[in-house]
Amino acid sequence: MNPRTRHALEFVLDNLVWFMLLFVLVVFSIFIPNYFQLGIFANIIEASSVLGVMSIGLALVIIAGHMDLSVESVAALSAMAVGILFCSSGIGMGVQLHPEWLMVPVSLLLALAVGGLIGAFNGFLVVKVKMSAFIITLASYIWVRGLVLVISGGRSAQDLAPAIRWFGIQRLIGLPLTAWIAIACFVVFSLIMAKTPFGRHLVMIGGNETATFRAGIRVNRNLVIAFVLAGAIAGLAGWLLAIRTSGATANLGVGLLFNAFAAVVIGGVSLKGGVGTLPGVYAGVLLLSAINTAINLMGLPANFTQVIHGLLVLAAVLLDAFKQTIRLRLA
Amino acid sequence: MSEPLLVLDNVTKNYGAIEALKGISFSIGKGEVVALLGDNGAGKSTLVKIIAGGLEPTSGRMLFEGKEFLARSPAEAKAAGIETVYQDLSLCTNVDVVANFFMGREITRKVLGIPVLDERAMETVVEKALASAGTRIPSLRTNVEHLSGGQRQAIELNRFVHWGGKLVLLDEPFAALGVEQTRRGLDMIRQVASQGIGVVIITHIMQQAFQVADRIVVIRQGVVAGDVARHKTSPDAVINMITGETLAGAGPAG
């Protein structure tokens, strides 16, 4: 095989999920009436912003060889914290700040801080107490959701302050600002993972933690940062979720975790750690969203979504194994 | 012997009630190659980990370049100038050759105050380092998982030759190498030592020890059972020290 075809083949393998996305979009556009519209595509991107942001944090931790099951609950807690403070009906306290725009940074910082704190707690236990991240974050997944129920009393907050809502309404080139925030997050974190020593170290820690420790990389520090980032990013997802629903309910975001997982796996991130890129994850998120939209347009019962997502995850894992064998041939 | 680089003074290590090291004392000079020999479980790897910062000693002290020395982490040992090549390979197979070569020491340039990896600069350095060592690897951008055992070990050996430092610890570095590559590896060790770098090599193969070492230190049951210059001893005498039949030529045992 000449180097040229080999490069081409490797390029396709590295970006397989983008080709899948393209393929799916083309097929849907051809066979589903009304699918091929700018509005539909904008909707696909818009609908994937919360899931997309959450998937970034999850992917970071998984690439570093660990796990964070708590992202969904953390997002819900952040959303609830923002909802209780800045909603004007339900359990919302309707806190007003002057000038009004001040509510934006305050609510955002609050959401990030709530997420970051829980992330720090997770990371500390994983690194210092050396417990399995799976168990610790499973516990967090449960107790943080419990906390949401406790502080809300099972009720909801509605009518988020208009100054914050503005991000969900104001559009730029056909997309609401919330979607642009998600896209910006993907760009920033993709660059961090691909271009900075921190990102490189996370990938190597996911590949061989002992080797990185021996090489003098501060593994524990990097891992705690990864967990804090995952938490803070989940907090941001919660903030976007609160904007999207203009408030918060006690069961806000239930099921997002599994979609995030699906997106991450479909995006080419290996659960064994050390493999995967964030652009791939974004393609995974868009792919899920494109399929959801297709299901809606075809008028299939929404219950089918879950079946299809499950099969898609299976397909992604099989595909990953298949890619490995092709790569071995290439080497 | 030349000026001592590292001096170990009665270093001990207990794992609970088990005494892995009962008091090790010896020294390594600048530019000296010391072969550390001993049976399985004699405590060689424990000793290397203590010097390299992977383990802390229970008691005893170390002097590095005449100063009190204790590495609490591999990062500290590296900062002091101690490089280690471990028995089980310390490569991240999920990244490419360049990334492995520069693991933890990436060349960066600042973009808007943020450190960004300078891939081109790193690739140039690796290219040069591998070429001067005569190691051929098809592409520096292939992930290490696609390379053979010998190529992987060559990367590790070239890595320590390149970074050098002041003291190099090699824990059975030739386990995966063929005859020719081993010979080249031994040459590399002599070459490194000739630059004034101290080398400690752990090996099971007597022939290698006699080929490369200036001095042979034998550890048995956690103490130094022998510390002799190579030209004053023979493989048979060393084997006897390892198995414990004689304590002839023994150094300061605990």
Q: What is the pLDDT along chain B (254 residues), one digit of tens a residue?
A: 457 888 988 888 888 888 888 888 888 988 899 998 888 877 888 888 899 888 888 988 888 888 888 888 888 888 888 888 886 768 898 899 999 999 988 898 888 888 999 889 999 998 888 877 667 787 888 888 888 777 887 788 888 878 878 898 988 877 767 777 788 788 888 888 888 889 999 888 888 888 888 998 988 888 888 888 888 888 888 888 888 775 544 444 43
By a Cβ cutoff of 8 Å, what residues of chain B touch chain A?
Answer: 52, 54, 73-75, 77-79, 84, 86, 89-95, 99, 103-106, 108, 114-117, 142, 146
Outline where chain B has alpha helix (H).
44-52, 74-80, 97-101, 119-132, 149-163, 179-194, 206-212, 235-243
Q: CA–CA separation, B156 vs B48, rounded Å? A: 17
Q: Answer whether A208 sits within 8 Å of B91, measured CB to CB.
A: yes
Same domain, B98 and B69: no
In a domain, B12, yes or no: yes
Pick the residue of B72, B83, B94, B169 with the most A CBs within 10 A to test the interface with A by mutation. Answer: B94
Q: Answer whether B91 sits within 8 Å of A200, measured CB to CB.
A: no
Counted residue by residue, chain B has a size of 254
Same domain, B201 and B106: no
Per-residue pLDDT tens digits for B130-141: 877 667 787 888
Parallel/antiparallel/unpaired status of strands B114-117 and B108-111: antiparallel
Q: Answer whether B74 sits within 8 Å of A213, measured CB to CB.
A: yes
The shortest C-alpha distance from A116 to chain B (Å) reads 22
In a domain, B159, yes or no: no
Pick the residue of A208, A209, A218, A324 with the most B CBs within 10 A to test the interface with B by mutation. Answer: A208
ipTM of the complex: 0.81
Per-residue pLDDT tens digits for A225-278: 999 999 999 999 999 999 999 888 988 988 889 889 889 988 989 888 888 899
In a domain, B153, yes or no: no
Same domain, B71 and B177: yes
User: Hey, what amino acid is at A287?
Assistant: L
Q: Answer whether A328 sits within 8 Å of B142, measured CB to CB.
A: no
Task: Count Cα neighbours of A49 within 13 Å in the Cβ-side half-sphere.
Answer: 26
Same domain, B61 and B172: yes
Same domain, B120 and B170: no
Whether residue A265 contacts residue A243, with contact meaning beta carbons closer than 8 Å, is answered with: no
Task: Count Cα neighbours of A30 within 13 Å in the Cβ-side half-sphere.
Answer: 5
Ramachandran angles phi, psi of A291, nearest 5°: -70, -40
DSSP states of B113-158 as a string? TEEEE-HHHHHHHHHHHHHHTT---S-TTSBGGGS-HHHHHHHHHH
Same domain, B115 and B204: no
CA B143, B146, B147, B152 torsion: positive or negative?
positive
Q: What integer pLDDT is reported at residue A181 of this predicted model? A: 93
Q: Is the pTM of this model over 0.90?
A: no
Same domain, B46 and B58: yes
Q: What integer pLDDT is reported at residue B253 of this predicted model? A: 43
Q: CA–CA separation, A243 vs A226, rounded Å? A: 26
* Number of domains chain B contains: 2
Q: Answer whether A204 sits within 8 Å of B95, measured CB to CB.
A: yes
Same domain, B82 and B169: yes
Q: Which CATH number fits domain A17-330: 1.10.3470, 2.60.40, 1.20.58, 1.10.287?
A: 1.10.3470
Question: A302-322 burial, b if ≥16 CB within 10 A, otherwise e?
Answer: eeebeeebeebbeebeebbee
Q: What integer pLDDT is reported at residue B175 of this predicted model? A: 72
Same domain, B170 and B138: no
How large is the C-alpha radius of gyration of chain B? 19
Average pLDDT over residues A37-61: 92
Q: What integer pLDDT is reported at residue A331 of this predicted model? A: 61
Q: What integer pLDDT is reported at residue B42 of this predicted model? A: 79
Same domain, B213 and B171: yes
In a domain, B180, yes or no: yes
Pick the residue of A212, A214, A221, A275 with the most B CBs within 10 A to test the interface with B by mutation. Answer: A214
**Nearest chain A alpha carbon to B143:** A331
Q: From chain B, pick out residues whose CB is under 8 angstroms from the CB of A197.
A: 106, 108, 115, 117
**Domain range annotation of chain A:** 17-330
Same domain, B172 and B254: yes
**Cis geometry, peptide bond prior to residue A99 (ω within 30 degrees of 0):** yes
Q: How many C-beta atoms lie closer than 10 Å to residue B59's C-beta?
A: 11
Q: What integer pLDDT is reported at residue B1 of this predicted model? A: 47
| Partners of B64 in the β-ladder | B6, B67
Comparing B158 with A280, the larger pLDDT belongs to A280
DSSP reduced 3-state for B19:
strand
Q: What integer pLDDT is reported at residue A174 of this predicted model? A: 83
Could you tell me which residues come within 8 angstroms of residue A153 by beta carbon, excluding any fewer than 6 positions away? Answer: A91
In a domain, B197, yes or no: yes
Q: Smallest Cα–Cα separation from B69: which of B127, B146, B134, B7?
A: B7
Could you tell me which residues come within 8 angstroms of residue A100 by beta carbon, excluding any fewer than 6 positions away? Answer: A161, A162, A163
Comparing B85 with A114, the larger pLDDT belongs to A114
In a domain, B158, yes or no: no
In a domain, B47, yes or no: yes
Same domain, B80 and B136: no
The shortest C-alpha distance from A61 to chain B (Å) reads 16
**Nearest chain B alpha carbon to A216:** B75
Q: Which domain holds residue B54?
A: 1-91+165-254
Per-residue pLDDT tens digits for B182-227: 887 888 888 888 888 899 998 888 888 888 889 989 888 888 888 8
In the sheet that holds A247-248, the strands lie side by side as A87-90, A157-160, A247-248
In a domain, B133, yes or no: yes
Sole residue written with tokens 């004034």: B196
Q: From chain A, pick out residues whose CB is under 8 angstroms from the CB of B115.
A: 196-197
